[in-house]
């Protein structure tokens, strides 16, 4: 059974009133009438426990059919908990190499929705390439930095063909074949 993901502008719209549902990008493009990107975003409020999140979103998670499994609960560090602590330094005191670990940060449970996102003016499809953004030496917004971090690595230029090895040769009658040479 394939999962039918919603086609929407944001995660909230994907939950409440999507433009349609599609399993593949080509279907999603037809429903959206243009380009789409597959993304997973948080939706709704944060809950202190998993049980509270299940009580609020249980019907979307447990009672969903095989084609409706596009929602998932994830645990995240709470925003008010502050920044991630710095890495611990080795101490070598009292016969112990490492200090006691810091207390676990406060976490919350959020519902994440996987959907086909339609680009908008405030959130376009592709973030800039990391190398180009770094060389531009201009301040980047937080959302742009997050988008760059989530995006897969993209090459600056197309990959060059692989070289032949020391003991390989291309015959003149068939240059598309690489043969071992002894």
At 138-153, the pLDDT tens digits run: 787 787 788 777 776 7
Structural domain range at position 147: 126-151
147 in any annotated domain = yes
Cβ pair 117, 9 in contact under 8 A: yes
The alpha carbon of 37 is separated from its chain's Cα centroid by a whole number of angstroms, namely 11
182 in any annotated domain = no
Tell me whether residue 66 is exposed, middle or buried, using C-beta atoms within 10 angstroms of its C-beta: 0 to 12, 13 to 18, 19 or more.
Answer: exposed
At 55-79, the pLDDT tens digits run: 998 888 877 777 778 899 999 888 7
At 163-177, the pLDDT tens digits run: 777 788 888 898 888
Domain count, the chain: 1
What's the rounded mean pLDDT across residues 1-26?
90
133 in any annotated domain = yes
137 in any annotated domain = yes
């Amino acid at each position: 059974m394939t999962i039918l993901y919603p086609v929407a502008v944001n995660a909230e719209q994907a939950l409440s009133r999507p433009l349609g549902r599609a399993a593949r990008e080509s279907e999603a493009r037809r429903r959206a009438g243009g380009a789409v990107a597959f993304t997973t975003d948080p939706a709704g409020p944060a809950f202190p426990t998993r049980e509270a999140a299940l009580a609020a979103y249980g019907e979307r998670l447990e009672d969903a059919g095989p084609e409706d499994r596009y929602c998932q609960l994830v645990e995240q560090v709470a925003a008010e908990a502050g920044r991630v602590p710095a890495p611990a330094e080795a101490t070598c005191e009292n016969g112990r190499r490492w200090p006691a670990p810091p207390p676990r940060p406060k976490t919350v449970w959020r519902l994440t929705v996987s959907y086909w996102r339609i680009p908008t003016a405030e959130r376009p499809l592709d973030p800039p390439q990391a190398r180009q953004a770094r060389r531009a030496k201009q301040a980047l917004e937080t959302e742009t930095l997050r988008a760059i971090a989530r995006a897969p690595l993209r090459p600056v230029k197309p990959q060059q063909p692989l070289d032949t090895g020391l003991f390989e040769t291309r015959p003149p009658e068939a240059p598309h074949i690489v043969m071992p040479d002894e």
